[in-house]
Structure formats: structure tokens, C-alpha cells
Amino acid sequence: MIASLKQKTGRSLEEWQELIRPTSLTKHGQIMKLLKEEHGVSHGYANQIALRAVPSSSAEAPAGNPIDEMYAGPKLDCAQSTMR
């Protein structure tokens, strides 16, 4: 979809990002609404643009293994007793 973005929407991904940046919108839904309502971008293309315009939350992800955290504490004792 990104490869055909300019052909289908009239703007490249970089051009869309430049348009979105000054709005200071940070939520996926807000960006999609802007693209669809004010620029007539279809749902699928608006989604792809918004996915790439929203800051990645991976930098905010907690450290550690989520599976280990699921089975920590009392859950660990229960899981170990059923494995015996």
C-alpha cells in the first residue's frame, strides 16, 4: 500500500507526515479522522499513514519478560505444584 500511496492519494508518505506533524495529533484515531474527513483519504490508506505517523510505543515498553511476570509470586507456586 505504501508503494502506491502517492498514486492513490496524491501524496507520498513523507508528504503526509509533513502535513500531519504541525497538527500535533498523536493518536492513531485522531490522525485517521483528519485524513479521512479533511483530505478524503480512504480508510485503508489513512490507517497505513497513521500507523507510520504515530510515535512508536516500543520505547516505552517495560523491560523484562512478560511471561516470567505472568508466573511470578503466588502464580509461580501454583504452576510448580501442578507440574509435579
* Parent domain of 17: 5-83
Which contacts of 22-28 are long-range, i.e. CB under 8 A and separated by 24 or more positions? 26/54, 26/55, 27/54, 28/54
- Per-residue confidence at 65, pLDDT binned at 50, 70, 90? confident
Sign of CA dihedral 63, 66, 70, 72: negative
* Distance, CA of 67 to CA of 11 (rounded, Å): 42
The structural domain count of the chain equals 1
* Residue of 82 and 70 predicted with greater confidence: 70
pTM (2 decimals)? 0.64
The predicted-structure confidence for 29-62, as pLDDT tens digits, reads as follows 999 999 999 999 999 999 999 999 987 644 445 5
Within 13 Å, how many C-alpha atoms sit on residue 54's CB side? 15
Average pLDDT over residues 58-83: 62
